[in-house]
Amino acid sequence: MDPSPTTRALVRQLLAREIAAEKEPDAVGNAIQRLYSRVSENLRHSLGDDGRDALLQRAFTRTKTQHPVLTDIGQIGETGIRLDDVVAGVNAHGVPAVTAAVESLLVTLSDILAGLIGADMVMNLLDHDGQHSKAPTGRQAQ
């Protein structure tokens, strides 16, 4: 399944908005990690840990072959897909490579979701941009 241009454009907007103000590689890395954490937490909030993990695992597995950098900055663990080393990844591989990898991961995730619940709901689920604040929960997102 090729990523849809619309999905890619939306994910690019999402990333661009997050990292727009950042100039330094470390700050960009932190911004990417922050975005990923927010998307992951939004998914967990709506779908639960299992629902989120299943989607992210599939997206990660499908994307890591094209973007091996993902295996350096993230891992599949008992608590789902974690992107722990984005800043280190940026320093090792450069901003463009890490940005492209995370972008592809999110595009794949969005396309999987679009196939399940429709493209018009994807961004509502992934990043509703602080439309409502969430209450604290038991198991936190990474």
Partner 1 sequence: MTKKESQVIRNVETGIPGLNTVLGGGLCEYSFNLIAGAPGVGKTTLVQQIMFKNARPERPALYFTVLGEPTIKMIRYQRQFEFFDPARVPSAVRFINLTAEAASGDFDAVLKRIIAEVASANPGFVAIDSFRSIVRDRPSDTDDIIALARFVQRLAQQLTSWEVTSFLIGEYSDSERQHPVFTVADSILWLSEDVDRNSATRKLRVVKVRGRNQMPGLHTVRITKAGMEVFPRIPEQQRRVMQSTRRLKSGVPGLDEMMGGGIPSGDVMLITGPAGTGKTTFATQFVAQGLADGESCVVAVFEEYPDAYLARAKTGAVNFGEMVAARRLAITYLRPLDLSVDEMLAAIKSEVASVGATRVVIDSLSGFDVALAPSYRIDFRESLYRLIGALTSTGVTVVMTAEVIDVFPDFRFTTERVSFITDDIIVQRFVEIDGHLQKVLAVVKMRGSDHATDFRTYHLTSAGAFIGESLERYHGITTGNPTFIGTGPGVDPDG
Minimum distance between the CB of residue 118 and partner 1, rounded to whole angstroms? 6
Q: Taking a C-beta distance cutoff of 8 angstroms, is the pair 122, 108 a contact?
A: no
- Minimum gap (Å) between residue 115 Cβ and partner 1: 9
Q: Which is nearer to partner 1, 65 or 133 (CB)?
A: 133
Residues near partner 1 (CB under 8 A) = 44-51, 55, 113, 116-118, 120-121, 124-125, 128, 131-139
Q: How far is the CB of 70 from partner 1 (least distance, A)?
A: 23
* Residue placing its CB nearer to partner 1 in the complex, 51 or 77: 51
Contact 39, 82 (CB under 8 A): no
**105: three-class secondary structure by DSSP:** helix
> What residue type is 14 in one-letter code?
L
Helix H or strand E segment including 68? none
